[in-house]
Structure 1
Amino acid sequence: MTPFTKSAAGAPPTLFATEAAGLAWLAEAGGAEVVEVLDAAPDRLSLARLDISAATAASAEAFGRALLVTHRAGAPAFGAPPPQAPGPHGFIGPTAAPLPMRYGNWLAWGAFFAEARITPYLRLAQDAGAIDHPGSEMIERLAARLAAGEFDDDEAPCRLHGDLWSGNLLWCRQGCVMIDPAAHGGHFLDDLAMLALFGAPMLERIHGAYAEAAELDSGWRQRLALHQLYPLLVHAVLFGGGYAARAVKIAKRFG
């Protein structure tokens, strides 16, 4: 079968190698399936073609349980890159013009989330005129509380897909397959929150199977919105202020 090849004029020179490193790291976990990398070069990424099918309840539940296995494979720290990542940062967003995504070595999730995921994209959203001063101040106050550890728990760093919206899940005959990661070490709710933010087929089946296998406490769903702050700010930078307004609403809720 002819490979599927990704390319984009003007893409950063390490973009495709970074994506390949993320896919390899996720595949090593032995959990949720990822698309197979056939070749990576500075100007392209060749992937195995997938046999697309319809989502089913069984495949959604299987994916939820497999995603837990991927997460529990772990990461050295919050913000840690895939071992083979070639550059000092990863990428998030469209292939032709992705945003840089900071790597690092944080011991606590709140400090990582505030310093590497909230503040950088808030600054970019301000520069783009997507968020006003009162909204920025509200998010900054929440970021300070995150950095101080007010929302931390005992969860160890997980091995995240990092950009797990519905478009990066392909439903195939062999089950659900992940593509286009922004892989790094983070909190497991970051991936579950991304799925919930933009919707996914059989979302309740995925979440339910994950929660049952992980034996999550009853309050995990209420915490999802906090973890959605980062992708909302990324989308505010890329697509405008409507996403910023949703981010401010979350800051009000948790502030």
Structure 2
Amino acid sequence: MLPDGPGAAAAHHTGQAAAHVRPRSGALTEVELADGRRVMVKRDDAPEATHAEAAGLRWLAAPGAVRVPEVFGCDRRWLVTELVAEGRPTREAAVGLGRGLARLHAAGAPEFGAPPPGGPVEAYIGQAPMRNVTGDNWPQWYAEHRVLPYLRRAVDEGAMERREAAVVEEVCARLPELAGPPEPPARQHGDLWNGNVVWSAAGPAYLIDPAAHGGHRETDLAMLELFGCPHLAAVLDGYAQAGPLSEGRRERVPLHQLFPLLVHTVLFGRSYAGQTLQAARAALRL
């Protein structure tokens, strides 16, 4: 039988009784345990969602390159992790985050689209389903398994017009020439917008809520730029110090932002269609 609440879930997965329970936003609950530790309990009823997130966090933690919350356990409904005390972003932490991301990406993945060990093929990015189908050719894989599925859904649900979709389809057709130098599969966070970076009170930045899979390292960086990130220039400086990027990365940012923008179009509707179209035209350098 599954635990019937966040306190019970915390107790079940840590072996410590819950002393205090404090609801946070959405599906998150902060629980203080009897031994004084504080944990974060997340509820998600989508099939395999908690297992996908737990596997992703463990995979990102394995190289020791970036900080992620410790996973205490999960079941079909609940994920229990370390609670990171939040602080203010600093340039030092941002440089450290950039260096860590470079090392994380260099740890690699078996193929593009490869799920973390123990993670499901049918995973999620935010609340949107994301299939971790593998491939060894990034332009083809990115078009077939990241861009086009969300584009089709956006059109089918009326969030994008057919004429707008044609511009994105042109990007997909030209991906081999737009993608830049070949890159090996990177160990990717997969949903690296600023909201999934926790600037800790202890100093280092932590990464949360991954949609981890084998991907292109420029996609993580492009997503970090999409909605703004404190000390972004310092993050990119730190990254360049540990893992120099291929020439032309700046021009390819809109190409890598197409995927998260289409996910947002599917989840939140037509308000993101214009930004998606703008990114597609920029990728084509129109």
TM-score (norm 2): 0.83
Q: Distance in 2 between matches of 1:66 and 1:150?
A: 27
Normalised by the size of structure 1, how large is the TM-score? 0.93
Partner of 2:42: 6
Q: 2:198 aligns with which of 161, 165, 170?
A: 170
Of residues 134, 143, 168, the one that matches 1:114 is 143
Identity %: 43
Aligned residue pair count = 247
Give the root-mean-square deviation of aligned CA atoms: 1.4
The equivalent residue for 1:88 is 121
* Counterpart for residue 94 of structure 2: 60
Q: In structure 2, how many angstroms separate the alpha carbons of the residues matched to 1:209 and 1:131?
A: 37
Q: Which has the higher contact order (CA 8 A, sep 6+)?
A: 1
Q: Does 1:160 pair with 2:207?
A: no
SS of alignment partner, residue 228 of structure 1: helix
Give 1:90's aligned amino acid: A
In the alignment, structure 1 residue 253 sits paired with structure 2 residue 286 = no
Match runs of 1:125-136 below 5 Å: 125-136=154-165
CA contact (8 A) 1:26 1:70 kept: yes
Separation in 2, partners of 1:152, 1:115 = 18
Q: Aligned to 1:232, which of 261, 266, 276? A: 261
Give the Å deviation of 1:33. Answer: 0.8
1:137-169 Cα offsets, whole Å, 9 max, x none, are 1111211222x5652522100000000001100
Shift of 1:217: 4.4
CA distance in 2, matches of 1:215, 1:17: 33
SS at match of 2:238: helix
| Structure 1: runs of 5 or more not aligned | none
Cα distance in 2, alignment partners of residues 49 and 240 from structure 1: 32
Superposed structure 1 runs of 4+ greater than 3 Å apart:
none
Shift of 1:133: 1.2
Give 1:221's aligned residue. Answer: 250
**Distance in 2, Cα, partners of 1:218 & 1:151:** 11
Secondary structure of the structure 1 residue equivalent to 2:174 = helix
Name the CA distance, whole Å, in 1 between partners of 2:264 and 2:49: 19
- Structure 2 distance, partners of 1:242, 1:211, is 34
